[in-house]
Amino acid sequence: MPSPYRAIFAAPGSKWFSAAGFFGRMPLSMMGIGVVTMVSQLTGRYGLAGALAATLAMSAAVVGPQISRLVDRHGQARVLRPATLVAVAAVTGLLICAQNGAPDWTLFVFAAGAGCVPSVGSMIRARWAAIYRYSPRELHTAYTWESIVDELCFIFGPIISIGLSTAWFPAAGPLVATVFLVLGVVWLTAQRATEPVPHPREQHTRASALRAPGLQVLVLTFVATGAIFGAVDVVTVAFADEEGHKSAASLVLAVYALGSCLAGLVFGVLHLKGSPERRWLVGVAGMAVSMIPLQLVGNLTSLAVALFIAGLAVAPTMVTTMALVEVHVPRSKLTEGMTWVSTGLAVGVALGSSGAGWAVDAAGAEAAYAVAGIAGAAAIVVAVLGYRRLNRPVPAGEEQRGDEHGQPERRDTTLA
Of residues 345, 327, 338, the one with CA closest to residue 395: 327
Q: Enumerate the β-bridge partners of residue 247.
A: none
What pLDDT is stored for residue 286 in this prediction? 93
Q: Find residue 408's DSSP bridge partners.
A: 402
d(CA 394, CA 333): 11
- Burial grade of 304 (CB within 10 A; 0-12, 13-18, 19 or more): buried
Domain ranges of the chain: 3-197+209-391
- First-to-last alpha carbon distance for the chain, in angstroms, is 21
Question: Whole-prediction pTM value?
Answer: 0.70
- Give the number of other Cβ atoms within 10 Å of residue 397's Cβ: 9
One-letter amino acid at 362 equals A
Q: How high is the pLDDT of residue 408?
A: 35
- Beta carbons of 13 and 190 less than 8 angstroms apart: no
Dmax over Cα atoms in the chain, in whole Å? Answer: 64
Instruction: From residue 194, give the alpha-carbon distance in Å to each of 59, 80, 137.
Output: 29, 15, 20
Superfamily designation of domain 3-197+209-391? MFS general substrate transporter like domains (1.20.1250.20)
Residue 207 has a pLDDT of 61
Give the pLDDT of residue 415.
Answer: 36
Phi, psi of 170 (to 5 degrees): -55, -35
Residue 303 to residue 242: CA distance in whole angstroms: 13
pLDDT at 377 (0 to 100): 93
Residues whose CB falls within 8 Å of the CB of residue 322, separated by 6 or more in sequence, listed in order: 125, 143, 146, 147, 338, 341
Predicted local confidence at residue 209, as pLDDT = 67
Task: List per-block mean pLDDT (blocks of 10 residues) for the chain, which spans 416 residues.
Answer: 75 89 86 83 80 81 80 84 91 89 88 83 86 80 82 76 83 90 92 80 57 81 89 87 81 84 79 77 92 88 92 86 77 74 78 84 86 92 85 50 36 37
